[in-house]
Amino acid sequence: MGVKYVVDFAKQCVKLQVLVHVSTAYVSGERSGLILENGYRMGETLNGETGLDINMERKVVDDKLNDLRSQGASDKDITLAMKDLGIKRARLYGWPNTYVFTKAMGEMVVGELKGIVPALIIRPTIITSTYKEPFPGWAEGIRTIDSLAVGYAKGKLTFFLGNLDSVVDVIPADMVVNAMIAAMMAHASHRPLESIYQVGSSVQNPIKYSHLQDYGFRYFSNKPWINKDGKPVIVGKVTVLNSMDSFHRYMAFRYLFLLKGLELTNAAFCHFFQGVYSNLNRKINFVMRLVDIYRPYLFFNAVFDDLNTEKLRMAARTSLVEKDMLYFDPKCIDWEDYFMNIHIPGIVKYIFK
């Protein structure tokens, strides 16, 4: 409901020139091909399922939360149950997870309630560390793509699940900010018809997962991470699992059979190994849950149209500010140089612990 409150507040601002709503390009769900910069109607779903009502979704959440509390559920159990509910509701209407489902509903609220308020929607793709400003390589918090780098550099990532030939759409954070500023300037001055801007790189300057794998291997082979014992972590080529079937076979042979054997041994020895069993079971469940949540992105087979955003770039070039101030054209990025000399060193400095 936060979006509703913001829109309601914006309506009371008589001198407001533009309202910016930041969404995500992945409100597209698991669709393939070229994803256009189109909006969502209130109640529209990805799979054609009828009955999506935002107020009802809020009631479902409130009822579930109240029910769990009345049963005396622990905070941990409540958190897990609410996460499961979110995924269930998202998938009911065709979205893969709660994050993109709520982002899509946020867009619907803006479109439905804005009235005469001039509003625009920014849809960034996967945001990476800064390209130039406030300085190259700045990042805060572990993003999905960075968690892979951290796990790999520390020797904890033994396999990669996904299609290495797929395009991964990444865009530096400062380019997203510059696109937002350019859009605000355009709408404040002459209010173009476009209201949705997808900010990414998959059309203008695509990069594949195979490139990221190569950059990571080369960087950490040359500059290995030093572990807490003061020893360098030697990295190698990871096993690539290019389908969910291969992933399930890998997990079964490497971990699930071991877990089953440990379960039987634990029972035979009067739960002497309960701690070891519980810890391994928890880790396996965590991995399986993460894979289930991020599966749509690991095998994502689409690119994001950015025609509206390209119009902003053209306008910025015309005004001669794009080059020095509002750079947000991904075509200027040399991905090898960016990842090898900016992004990976940046996450090592600001994220690795």
Q: What pLDDT does 247 receive? A: 84
- Tens of pLDDT, residue by residue over 202-255, are 999 999 999 999 999 999 999 999 988 889 999 888 888 888 888 888 877 777
Q: Collapsing DSSP states into helix, strand and coil, what is residue 70?
A: helix
Residue in this structure with the two tokens 């291969």, named with its chain if needed: 246
- The predicted model scores a pTM of 0.88
Share of the chain above pLDDT 70, in %: 92
Task: List, for residues 255-280, the tens digit of each pLDDT value.
Answer: 776 767 766 675 666 766 577 667 76
**If you average pLDDT over residues 59-74, what whole number do you get?**
95
Measured CA to CA in angstroms, residue 338 lies from 134, 342, 343, 344, 353 at distances of 16, 5, 6, 8, 22
Other CB atoms within 10 A of residue 222 CB: 8
Classified as helix, coil or strand, 197 is: strand
Query: pLDDT value at position 57?
Result: 95
- In percent, the amount of the chain with pLDDT more than 90 equals 58
The catalytic site residues sit at 99, 103
What is the pLDDT confidence band of residue 197, given thresholds at 50, 70 and 90?
very high
Q: Answer whether residue 144 shows pLDDT above 90.
A: no
State how far the alpha carbon of 88 is from the alpha carbons of 26, 69, 96, in Å.
18, 20, 9
Amino acid 156: pLDDT: 81
Residue (of 261, 298, 297, 295) closest to 281 by Cα position: 261
Res 325: pLDDT: 78
pLDDT at position 192: 66
Residue 177 CB neighbour total at 10 angstroms = 18
Pairwise CA distance, residues 118 & 16, whole Å: 8
H or E stretch at 283: helix 274-298
Output the average pLDDT for the chain: 88
Which element (helix H / strand E) includes 308?
Answer: helix 307-318
